[in-house]
Amino acid sequence: MKHIDRAISSSGHSPMYVMHKFFGRKQEDVIREYIKCYTNKGDLILDPFCGSGVMIGEAVKLKRKAIGLDINPMSIFISRNTLLPADITEIEREFYQISAEISHEINSLYETQCRECCMRVEAICYTWNKNNLIDVRYECPTHGKQIHPINFSDQNLYKKIQNGKIPSFFDDNGVCKYWYPQNRFLYNKSSPFLKKERYNSVNELFTIRNLISLAKLYSRIEKIENPDIRSSFKFAFTSMTHLASKMTPVRSSRPFSSAWVQQSYWYCSEYMESNVWLLFERSVKGKQGLLRAKKDLLNQNVTLNESSSIKELLTSNSHGFHLIQNSIDNLDNLEPNSVDYVITDPPYGYSIQYGELLFMWGAWIDTLNEFKEYITKEIVVNPRQNKDEVKYEQMLLSIFKRIHYLLKPFKYCTVTFHNPNLKFRNILVRTVLIAGFSLEKIVYQPPSRPSAKSLLQPFGSLEGDYFFRFKKSTIVDSTTREDIDESHLETLVVEKVIEILIKRGEPTHYTFIQNVLDPLLYEELNRTGQIMRFQPESIEKILKKYEGTVFVLVPLKFRKIGSRNLVWNAWWLKNPNDYKLKTPLSIRVSNAIEELLNTTNQITVKEVQNIVFEKFQDVITPDLNLIMEILTQKQKERMEVKD
Ligand SMILES: C[S@@+](CC[C@H](N)C(=O)[O-])C[C@H]1O[C@@H](n2cnc3c(N)ncnc32)[C@H](O)[C@@H]1O
Ligand SMILES: [Zn+2]
């Protein structure tokens, strides 16, 4: 077996996964390579933190058996509805039925007039500023997409809704006829959610118009008799509820579509109010909708079967999966030394509050009755749950001890992790080592596409993930490991950053230093048999201490955005002439790409990325933005030559 020791190029998610929003969903094509590398057909794979089910889906597609656990019922709901096939004809039939019954009534709440031809059309969305309706956005068959200030009748319509004067939605007392969730963002009276701002409960996230539309739609979905089809429609429903909320800012770049852009129940003063029926229609029939997702699944040529128990899965002679809403350390019906491979993505400390963020969807589909119980099992750093870093580490340790117990000897456990803070990455490494594993390799894995955020402000946050390769060795070596102290860490960091800068041969921004430093640090600690038991400070702080003596910060013109030249500071060596520097990395990468383009006629971006990642590994893993920039540049040059 040849290990995966380098980054893998990724092209993002396929329709079966993108249909429902999730936080920190893994890149499926990267996961697939790991599963292929570390397992054979029929092997048993475990993901104790399965989230939206990517590891499980990829395992089963490759004809493995997979067990996925998550304490959050919403994660299990998303995983199950992502992975299970569904009857496409039946979904289409049901959708037309629902549409015939209620689309007209819901659309009537969004009725407006084309300002050019007076034709009645339904609004795609409205925009609000605090409590004021500002404009209406619609598409007229003759006049296309339009944006106009609201008029008297738009205003009146909303007033009627506000006063409960629409008989198909309200009773005689002006009370909405349909149920909607009113769960409060609270752990208990004195402890609100960390991620809550101004809104106090789920219903407050919506305008009244959108709330009653969602409520009516949901009550219709509840009436679907076939439980599988009902579940699929609930899945389509939660895939768009956030888009119908007020947490969707008005964006000049996308004037007709809404997005929940923060990982919190945030308040934005200028927000969208999107037509619930159109959102729902898109969630079923759109490019990223339910039908597309289920067709995508059909095209995979494997059926993803869910077994009703672990036993059934293990005794079956074909592939399949089993999902469990629980924590692996509470599970006792899996034998020790029975799992062939673990691939998992544990919670990242404080950065994503899964329990809080999944709450809004869970409130709609009613998974919150056991909220108090499952939230106590959530591994997270959250003062409102009385969980600090120590607690987080204890809980994580309990899981990894269990994983160690379940995994076959000499088998592998791939852990992916995303946290911009060395302290948390160290908690992870320390925990897994103490659980009895040995650390073999850390690979920095860039994201599939540079995110919009990273293009504008590429630096400061960690982009992409780390893939840690742990092995279940028979000798537990953590107890014999020596502590490294703070001053030694400092020396080590300085030494390794110098090494990085020499090898990259050019000023490098902190983000990229950080991306490639961990592997070097832990390789060294492994070699010397050490473990970092204290909580390290940030690498940047350490570098700052040596600014002016060993390092300097130099301005680096990095990218042109429109007419703006954005300038960032990069770390460089104070006395570069004292070292034997390599050719600047950007030049080497550029030459390599040039050579590649000269020798091959047809090559995809993905192939270029893979070849570049193969050639430039570890500390010289190039930034994805750089590869893309060079490619664009070369392409331009070629076009000019042809001209
Ligand atoms: C980083 S996410 C996994 C994302 C996943 N890899 C994906 O691609 O969608 C971590 C998950 O761990 C879950 N979790 C937290 N504590 C847990 C525990 N004790 N046992 C099982 N799952 C837990 C959270 O609910 C969350 O869904
Ligand atoms: Zn018109």
Per-residue pLDDT tens digits for 581-613: 999 999 999 999 999 888 887 888 888 888 999
Identify whether the C-beta of residue 63 lies closer than 8 Å to the C-beta of residue 302: yes
In terms of Cβ atoms closer than 10 Å to its own Cβ (0-12, 13-18, 19+), residue 612 is buried
pLDDT at 642: 57
What band does 164 get if pLDDT is binned at 50, 70 and 90? very high
Instruction: Compute φ and ψ for 319, nearest 5 degrees.
Output: -70, 170
Residue with tokens 């309990």: 398
pLDDT at 104 over 90: yes
pLDDT at 439: 92
Taking each helix axis from N to C terminus, what angle separates 227-241 and 88-98, rounded to the nearest 10 degrees? 70
Report how far ligand 1's centroid is from the alpha carbon of 345 (Å): 7
Closest C-alpha residue for ligand 1 atom 5? 51
> At a CB cut-off of 8 Å and minimum separation 6, what does 614 contact?
6
Strand-strand pairing, 111-113 and 437-445: unpaired
Pairing of strands 111-113, 339-344: unpaired
Termini Cα distance of the chain:
48
Q: Which is it for strands 564-573 and 551-561: parallel, antiparallel or unpaired? A: antiparallel
Question: Whose Cα sits closest to atom 3 in ligand 1?
Answer: 51
Distance 33 CA to ligand 2 centre (A): 52
CA of residue 103 relative to chain centroid, distance: 32
Atom in ligand 1 nearest the alpha carbon of residue 22: 9
- The runs of H, that is alpha helices, within 459-509 are 486-504
**Which whole number is the average pLDDT over 19-40?**
96
Confidence of residue 565 (pLDDT cuts 50, 70, 90): low
**Ligand of minimum distance to the alpha carbon of 118:** 2
| pLDDT number for residue 279 | 98
How far apart are alpha carbons 233 and 236 in whole angstroms?
A: 5
Kind and range of the H or E element at 216? helix 208-222
**Closest CA to ligand 1's atom 7:** 25
Nearest ligand 1 atom to the CA of 47 is: 6
The average pLDDT across 406-424 equals 92
**pLDDT per residue over 520-548, tens digit each?**
999 899 888 889 999 888 888 999 999 99
Nearest protein Cα to ligand 1, atom 8: 25
Q: What is the pLDDT of residue 100?
A: 98
Q: Which residue has the tokens 């090898």?
A: 503
Res 449 pLDDT > 70: no
Query: pLDDT digit string (tens) for 166-189?
Result: 999 999 999 999 999 999 999 998
Q: Which residue has the tokens 């409060």?
A: 184
- Is residue 146 within 8 Å of 114, Cβ to Cβ? yes
Bridge partner residues of 201 (DSSP) = 184
Q: Say if residue 456's pLDDT is above 50.
A: no
Q: What angle do CA 272, 275, 281 make, to 5 degrees?
A: 130
Q: Are 354 and 23 contacting, i.e. CB atoms less than 8 angstroms apart?
A: yes
Nearest ligand, CA 120: 2
The residue whose CB lies within 8 Å of the most ligand 1 atoms, and thus the one to mutate among 378, 380, 414, 415, is 378
In the predicted model, is pLDDT for residue 638 greater than 90?
A: no
CA of 399 to the centre of ligand 1 (A): 12
Mean pLDDT, the chain, whole residue set: 92
pLDDT band at 626 (very low <50, low <70, confident <90, very high): confident
The average pLDDT across 497-512 equals 93
Residue ranges of E strands in 150-278: 186-188, 191-192, 270-274
More confident residue, 121 or 511: 121
Q: Report CA(592)–ligand 1 centroid distance (Å).
A: 39
Give me ligand 2 centre to Cα 280, in Å.
24
Stronger pLDDT, 204 or 513, i.e. the higher one: 204
Pocket of ligand 1 (CB under 6 A): 22, 24-26, 48-49, 51-52, 54, 69-72, 75, 327, 345, 347, 354, 377-379
Average pLDDT over residues 367-371: 91
ipTM score over 0.90, yes or no? yes
For the stretch 282-311, what's the b/e string if a residue is b when 16 or more beta carbons lie within 10 angstroms of its beta carbon?
Answer: bbbbbeebbbbbbeebeeeeeebbbbeebe
Among 70, 352, 394, residue to substitute to test ligand 1 (most atoms within 8 Å of Cβ): 70
As a whole number, mean pLDDT of residues 326-333 equals 94
13 and 48 Cβ atoms separated by less than 8 Å? no
- Residue 560 pLDDT class (50, 70, 90 cuts): low
239 near 223, Cβ under 8 Å?
A: no
Q: Quick one: tokens of 164?
A: 């409960």
CB-CB contact of 235 with 175 (8 Å): no
Strand partners, 465: 445
Is the pLDDT at 300 greater than 90? The verdict is no
Output DSSP code: residue 136: E
Given a cut of 90, whether residue 354 has pLDDT beyond it is yes
From 35, 49, 82, the mutation candidate for ligand 1 (largest count of ligand atoms within 8 A of CB) is 49
Measured CA to CA, the distance from residue 102 to residue 94 in angstroms comes to 12
Site to probe by mutation for ligand 1, drawn from 29, 45, 50 as the one with most ligand atoms within 8 Å of Cβ, is 50
Q: 270: CA distance to ligand 1 center in Å? A: 33
What is the 112 CA–ligand 2 centroid distance (Å)? Answer: 11
In this structure, how many other beta carbons lie within 10 angstroms of the beta carbon of residue 50? 26
pLDDT of residue 452: 44
Task: Indicate the pTM of the whole model.
Answer: 0.93
Tell me what percent of the chain is helix, strand and coil, each rounded to the nearest 5: 45, 20, 35
How crowded is residue 567: how many other Cβ atoms within 10 Å of its Cβ?
10
Query: Whose atoms come closest to the Cα of 145: which ligand?
Result: 2
Distance of CA 563 from the midpoint of ligand 1 (Å): 42
